[in-house]
Chains A and B, each alone.
Chain A
């Protein structure tokens, strides 16, 4: 059995089930003041969800027996690891903006990213992180007047 298709099918099945449950909930608990609307908020969701389940099932049935090449070389694993680190750095960035503000979070983010992409020198990484962050801060926060969370430090310059 094709493991990837199984995972895809399971994921789509879960989405379909959640949507069907939501659709049924909205159909059952329909607001009586909305009788002017025969379809209502629930029936539309229910129909789309059922269609999704049917198409997902059709896809699964048509593909689960197909074989795929499962060989992976070492280089690919290394690059996938890099993608995971970058995603984690991005998630950390969003988290940090909330706590320490946009400017400081950007500096840390750029530093992490440049280290992940392979810039080995710390002075260059730090310099680039500071430059890029300053550029983005001046352009978007100062000139474009975008208001980012200031973080718990709450100093105005942090954006």
Chain B
């Protein structure tokens, strides 16, 4: 009943308008690499003070989950992730574009985002507050266990050579240690440079490795267009649609529940989902060549995590990331104290915001689906015009992370590295995963050992199970990888 009242409240003109503006703004922000929702939220926060609290939070929330929708567009079309959570989407999204299936990729991405967003809103409505209390059981040892488990993904992302994947992962972890140490405040790998003291940001590295690296490779291959032929259907048909939808459902579940944990980033759950899709697929060797599950799963997970992040915020007052911290700031400015009492004392406000998430997801679907055909045509633009444009976008994306040209130099360096890695068949994904996991791994490890020594991981059941599961998964993955390679070699020799 409260939910229905909340949805009814959303249908006031002002709430609908701000919901739309938030979704539109979020989508645009998500499309542009580097312009993350956090910076947009921080810019718009002062402006929302002139609005009533409900409209303000509706708009800010719309920007946040809208950005998760939009991040897939450039990932699929030009191999530049719009957000960190869209990195795994590039692995199969861009290959689909190169096969003329950009429309299908964008379509399933929009559908997956809608399914995940709506599921998230449903969970928030009905069982979220009870579930999020369990998230408090996760302390540093459990986080370490979860991240250590995530390292098992390095194997499946390594491609043909596990050792190359391990090396890239370790390099990524090392790069993540640069800058100021999170616990002691000591600088590492700064070499007396003020710029290096700030450490490395994810966005310039991602923009460089994926965007600039891909452009350099494409120019070397002298391609005329990303896709030369006639564009295919924009809607996946039959078995492809079925595979995509199932991947969306799996991705939603993978993304939502870990997303309840404070500090859980959408990028990590997106990688989880990609890894899961590869494991459950009958043809894991085809991943990386344009499999629809490789797009649907990570995108659904990305959006589910974005949606799930609202629960710890509203129920516990714990923001799951910088964007949520800004929304928390907005709540506090309006005198709304997050916590269990928020649902009791400000019932109308809470259910209206939750109701707006349903409406917002429908708006995002309506905004994105009609544009699929238009976006897909980008793959038909001659590359001699498109390539330089992409490089210019990479400059903007890398610069906007921290408003410093140093990040653009980092992006260029990463771009050259990405180019060389592609030419020499070194996998790029483990390096990015190592970088994302690196800082979280170190912080949770050091906090845990400070709390109770190295044995703490085995004294806490959740942590112990996760670490053992990680070891078992790594061993199984290595064996399965060996079997897949043997089968491929046998098939090729039969031909």
* A79-B219 contact, Cβ under 8 Å, with A26-B186, A41-B183, A48-B177: yes
Contact of A117 among B174, B189, B384 (CB under 8 A): B384
Q: Scan B186-203; emit 1 where CB is below 8 A from any A CB, else 0.
A: 101100000000000000
**B384 touching A48 by the CB < 8 A rule?**
no
Assembly CA distance A12 to B426 (angstroms)? 13
| Complex contact B181–A48 (CB within 8 A) | no
Measured between beta carbons, the chain B residues less than 8 angstroms from A134 are none
Are the CB atoms of A39 and B449 closer together than 8 Å? yes
A interface residue count range (under 10 / 10 to 19 / 20 to 34 / 35 or more): 35 or more
Would A128 and B385 count as touching, CB distance under 8 A?
yes
- Choose from A22, A41, A83, A113 the contact partner of B419 (Cβ within 8 Å): A83
Q: Is the Cβ of B181 less than 8 Å from the Cβ of A41?
A: yes
Contact A114 B183 (CB under 8 A): no
Instruction: Report whether B400 and A146 are in contact in the complex, using a CB–CB cutoff of 8 Å.
Output: yes
- B188 partner, pick from A22, A86, A93, beta carbons under 8 A: A22
Complex Cα gap A4–B383 (Å): 30
Interface: B225 (CB within 8 A)? no
A40 / chain B contacts, CB cutoff of 8 Å: 184, 446
How far does the alpha carbon of A4 sit from the alpha carbon of B167 in the complex, in Å? Answer: 16
Known A90-B391, A106-B392, A144-B35; judge A44-B167 contact (CB<8 A).
Answer: no
Contacts of B166 in A (CB 8 A): 55
Which B residues between 33 and 55 are near A, CB-CB below 8 angstroms? 35, 43
In the assembled complex, the CB of B387 is this many whole angstroms from the nearest CB of chain A, namely 7
Residue B405 lies at the interface, judged by CB distance under 8 Å to chain A: yes
A38 CB-CB contact with B under 8 Å? yes
Chain B residues whose CB sits within 8 angstroms of the CB of A15 once the complex forms = 171, 174
A36 to B183, CA, bound (A): 10
Contact of B428 with A by CB under 8 A = no
CA–CA, A146 to B177, complex, Å? 29
Within the complex, the shortest CB–CB distance from B213 to chain A, in Å, comes to 11
For A34, give the chain B residue with the smallest CB separation.
B184
B219/A82 in contact, CB under 8 A: yes
Q: Is B450 an interface residue (CB 8 A)?
A: yes
Closest partner residue, chain A, to B389 (CB atom): A132
What 1/0 flags go to A112-155 for Cβ under 8 Å of B? 01100111000000001000100010001000111111000000
Shortest C-beta distance, B29 to chain A (Å), equals 9
Within 8 Å by CB of A48, from B174, B221, B387, lies B174
Q: What is the number of contacts between chain A and chain B, taking CB atoms within 8 Å?
A: 133
Q: Which residues in A have their C-beta under 8 angstroms from that of B164?
A: 59
Which chain A residue shows the least CB distance to B40?
A144
Residue B135 interfacial (CB < 8 Å): no
Kindly provide the distance from the CB of B471 to the nearest chain A CB, expressed in whole angstroms.
16
Query: C-beta contact mask, B151-186 vs A, less than 8 Å → 1, else 0?
Result: 000000000000110110011011001000101101
Residues 8 to 40 of chain A near chain B (Cβ within 8 Å): 8, 12, 15, 19, 22, 26, 31, 34, 36-40
B16 on the A face (CB < 8 A):
no
Let me know if B384 and A119 touch, CB within 8 A: yes
1/0 per residue, CB under 8 A from A, across B409-437: the answer is 10010011001000010000000000000
How far is A125 from B442 in the complex, measured between Cα atoms in Å? 50
Chain A residue, CB-CB nearest to B434: A48
CB atoms of B177 and A113 under 8 A apart:
no
Task: Decide yes or no whether A157 CB sits under 8 A from chain B.
Answer: no
Q: Is A97's beta carbon under 8 Å from chain B?
A: yes
Nearest CB on B from A104, distance (A) = 14
Q: Which residues in B have their C-beta under 8 angstroms from that of A144?
A: 32, 35
Docked pose: A58 CA to B167 CA in angstroms: 10
Q: How far is the CB of B427 from chain A (nearest CB, A)?
A: 13
- Residues in A neighbouring B188, C-beta threshold 8 A: 22, 26, 41, 45
A115, chain B: closest CB distance, angstroms: 10
- Contact: B409 with A94, CB < 8 Å? yes
Q: Which of B264-278 contact A (CB under 8 A)?
A: none
Residues of A within 8 Å of B491, CB to CB, are none
Contact between B446 and A44 (Cβ–Cβ < 8 Å)?
yes
Interface positions, chain A 56-97, Cβ under 8 Å from B, are: 56, 58-59, 62, 75-76, 79-80, 82-83, 86-87, 90-91, 93-94, 97
A4 to B421, CA, bound (A): 12
The 12 listed contacts between A and B (C-beta, < 8 Å) are A4-B424, A37-B449, A44-B446, A52-B167, A55-B163, A55-B170, A56-B167, A79-B221, A87-B216, A93-B395, A94-B395, A147-B403
Besides A41-B183, A76-B220, A97-B408, 12 other CB < 8 A contacts?
A: A37-B449, A41-B181, A41-B184, A80-B220, A83-B419, A91-B412, A109-B388, A113-B391, A114-B388, A119-B384, A132-B388, A136-B396
